Structure 1
Amino acid sequence: MTGEKSIKQQYLDFDEYIRQSEPEKKERAEAWRVAIGLQAVDGLKTSEYLHETARRNIEGEITIDEARELVKEYYIKKTAHNSNDADKEEADRVSSNISKLLQTDAFTYSVAGFAAIHRAIFEGVFKHAGRFRDYDISKKEWVLRNDTVLYGRWQDLRMTIEYDLEQERQFDYTVLNKDQMIEHLAKFVAGLWQIHPFGEGNTRTTAIFTIKYLRSLGFSANNDMFEHYSWYFRNALVRANYRNVREGINAEPLFLVRFFRNLLLGETNELRNRYMIISPPEKWKDATSTPTSTPTSTPTSSAQDLLQTENPLIQNLIKVIGNSQCSIKEMLEGVGLKDRKNFLEYHLVPAISGGYVCLLYPDKPRHPRQRYLLTVKGQMLYQELTKQ
């Protein structure tokens, strides 16, 4: 094979699938793009062999499990080695593991589920995959001029994660507007990352957990943000958790909020790593970085598409459900229909597929006390519809 391709070139190779392929190929291509892009978090680059293997999986020539096995065998059988092989192997195997995670819908919102994501990502790479660290850590950060964020004590890791997840589980999004929802989501993810329960791989684990969690809330988070801005995502997490009282520096969530607004609302806030560095040179300063949690950019039409729907039947159903949990019978009465089949086909199923409505018992669709409620995405649209 000829020389290695840059990550940017690999992205460009996937563009054709994203734009024109049938849904299954497009989904597989997006999963690989996110997986490859996240390696930049730790300064890693994937090999051309991984890129070719990913293409074969996208085309449907091999399954994702076969792709993972091929990558594993490639490094076992590789005879010519160089100084970059260890990093390449980590990037390739982790990318194939992440791609498998993103090609499946399974998600467990729990401490065990969080640890399971780490295990699945770093299986065959780290001996401690899926295990919480039993020692304290610190990391020199470029954006902090070699200072470190204070991470969680190893003795408190499980308890702290349990607390954060339970607080989020009980949080009521219905009282927030979309700006407040974005700020809250950014705060939740920043707090989870700050715990840093694993010896290595915390940012990639947090990113995949976040994508999975956002999907469970009704959002499609598998886009360019985690692909092209993974290093920015990490630095934004650092700045959201760093404070230095002696130097008069407070935690700054603005950068992470900008990331999430671009991710979830389709805004075009400028994301530059140099803006986040502590005490930057004058030429690196961001003229718009006055501490605030609400960027001023205006959502584009594509941003509205992420949140809005032109389907009046979905809009009406969202208004009927509102802040309640409704049965099929209650929703039928609310929209003024008697034909259950018609309602399911043209109202409820499209609303669920669009990420606006979810089941109270998603693992048991036929639960006798099944109810339907708005996802966070649905609640955001509900807020917009009730303003009109």
Structure 2
Amino acid sequence: MQPTYSIDNPRLSYQTKLDLWETGFGLQKVDGLEPSAYMIELAQSQAKGDLTYQDVHEEIRRYHAEVSAETQEADLVALRIAELLSRRGFSFSPGTLLSIHKELFQDIFPDEIPVGTFRRTNISKKEYVLGSDSVVYADYTMIEATLDYDFTQEKKFAYQGLTKEEIVAHIQQFISGIWQIHPFREGNTRAVIVFLIQYLREFGFDVDNEPFQKNARFFRDALVLDNAKMLQKNSQPLTQFFENLLLNGQNDLIL
């Protein structure tokens, strides 16, 4: 029998690969991280086809061991985001979110912070956009059940007949809800964004990654405001971000 499937190994253009790298670098700003200048040089070489992702990994590991480990998290997570987004496989399930988290943060966080598994404690975080208050995240005992419910409801949702604006509004609501669960001890926003980009591709959206490259911190703050307590809740910034991301919006993403 002759094979009926082709091996999926897309030959990405220089500009496409560079765009993925810039997305990976931009997402580090969610946590105030910046890549090393050397990592940026290696990214250029990989985008040109001079290095493979494995070559970059080995070289940046050597740099961290011999020169400086100060930017290790930003460098390695950006590399993993670029490589992950260069692949086209996707499955819509909580398991994919777990897999993304594990791939991005394996060997990055201290041993006491679990990677690729749901958190086993309740958490809070002081947010400057809430005057040092915190979003109320899902109780850790309910994470798996809540994710399963949200994913099941999303699978059942009928997008047929909706305008593009209505589709984007619903995806925005779904992703904001997943982020509010905050299933992981650390790394939630970056993992959710990578999942979102993959999900939007599955929809067939032509995703403009520039808002993530330049305004990742705004996106996180917008998620915080969208999930704040009732008197502090403000969904407008998140709506503006999604308009720029998917509807050719030109909103100034400034809080």
Common fold: TM-score over 0.5: yes
Cα distance in 2 between the residues matched to 1:69 and 1:237: 35
Indicate yes or no: 2:34 matched with 1:45.
Answer: yes
After superposing on structure 2, the runs of 4+ consecutive aligned residues of structure 1 that deviate more than 4 Å are: none
User: What does residue 47 of structure 2 align with?
Assistant: 58
Deviations 1:205-264 (A, max 9, x none): 1110000000000012252111001011001100110014xxxx1532221111111111
Indicate yes or no: 2:215 matched with 1:258.
Answer: no
Please point out which of 229, 237, 242 is paired with 1:243. 229
Please give the secondary structure, in 1, of the residue aligned with 2:107. Answer: coil
CA contact (8 A) 2:64 2:72 kept: yes
Indicate yes or no: 2:176 matched with 1:187.
Answer: no
Q: TM-score, normalised by structure 2?
A: 0.91
Give the C-alpha shift of residue 171 in structure 1. 0.7
Please give the secondary structure, in 2, of the residue aligned with 1:172. Answer: coil
Cα distance in 1 between the residues matched to 2:240 and 2:124: 26
Give the C-alpha shift of residue 72 in structure 1. 2.0
When residues 168 and 207 of structure 1 are mapped into structure 2, their CA distance, relative to the original with a 3 A threshold, is: same
Q: Which amino acid counterpart does residue 261 of structure 1 have in structure 2?
A: E
Give the C-alpha shift of residue 55 in structure 1. 0.9
Cα distance in 2 between the residues matched to 1:98 and 1:222: 16
Listed as ranges, the gaps of 5+ residues in structure 1 are 1-21, 274-388
Give the C-alpha shift of residue 181 in structure 1. 1.6
Cα distance in 2 between the residues matched to 1:61 and 1:124: 27
Q: Which amino acid counterpart does residue 163 of structure 2 have in structure 1?
A: N
Cα distance in 2 between the residues matched to 1:66 and 1:108: 28
Deviations 1:237-294 (A, max 9, x none): 00110014xxxx1532221111111111111022112xxxxxxxxxxxxxxxxxxxxx
Indicate yes or no: 2:92 matched with 1:145.
Answer: no
Deviations 1:57-104 (A, max 9, x none): 0110111122122222221233xx5xxx44x11100111111111111
CA contact (8 A) 1:182 1:257 kept: no
Please give the secondary structure, in 2, of the residue aligned with 1:34. Answer: helix
When residues 222 and 72 of structure 1 are mapped into structure 2, their CA distance, relative to the original with a 3 A threshold, is: farther
Matches within 5 A, 1:4-43: 24-43=13-32
User: What does residue 271 of structure 1 align with?
Assistant: 253
Cα distance in 2 between the residues matched to 1:150 and 1:64: 38
User: What does residue 206 of structure 2 align with?
Assistant: 220
Give the total of aligned pairs: 242
Cα distance in 1 between the residues matched to 2:43 and 2:32: 20
Please give the secondary structure, in 2, of the residue aligned with 1:173. Answer: coil
User: What does residue 159 of structure 2 align with?
Assistant: 173
Sequence identity, in percent?
37
Moved more, 218-227 or 156-165: 218-227
Q: Which amino acid counterpart does residue 84 of structure 2 have in structure 1?
A: L
Deviations 1:7-57 (A, max 9, x none): xxxxxxxxxxxxxxx951111101000000001000001101101110110
Indicate yes or no: 2:79 matched with 1:93.
Answer: no
Give the C-alpha shift of residue 193 in structure 1. 0.3
Please give the secondary structure, in 2, of the residue aligned with 1:35. Answer: helix
Q: Give the number of the structure whose alpha-carbon radius of gyration is greater.
A: 1
CA contact (8 A) 1:154 1:197 kept: yes
CA contact (8 A) 2:102 2:115 kept: yes
User: What does residue 103 of structure 2 align with?
Assistant: 120
Give the C-alpha shift of residue 123 in structure 1. 2.0
User: What does residue 117 of structure 2 align with?
Assistant: 131
Please give the secondary structure, in 1, of the residue aligned with 2:13. Answer: helix
Q: Which amino acid counterpart does residue 268 of structure 1 have in structure 2?
A: Q
Deviations 1:160-208 (A, max 9, x none): 1111111111111114222222211111110000000111100001110
Deviations 1:283-312 (A, max 9, x none): xxxxxxxxxxxxxxxxxxxxxxxxxxxxxx
Q: Which amino acid counterpart does residue 81 of structure 2 have in structure 1?
A: I
Taking only aligned residues, the RMSD between alpha carbons, in angstroms, comes to 1.5
CA contact (8 A) 2:130 2:232 kept: no
Q: Which amino acid counterpart does residue 74 of structure 2 have in structure 1?
A: A
CA contact (8 A) 1:41 1:234 kept: yes
Q: Which amino acid counterpart does residue 247 of structure 2 have in structure 1?
A: L
Q: Which amino acid counterpart does residue 95 of structure 1 have in structure 2?
A: A
Q: Which has the higher contact order (CA 8 A, sep 6+)?
A: 2
Q: TM-score, normalised by structure 1?
A: 0.60
Listed as ranges, the gaps of 5+ residues in structure 2 are 1-10
CA contact (8 A) 1:68 1:97 kept: no
Cα distance in 1 between the residues matched to 2:208 and 2:81: 12
Indicate yes or no: 2:66 matched with 1:72.
Answer: no
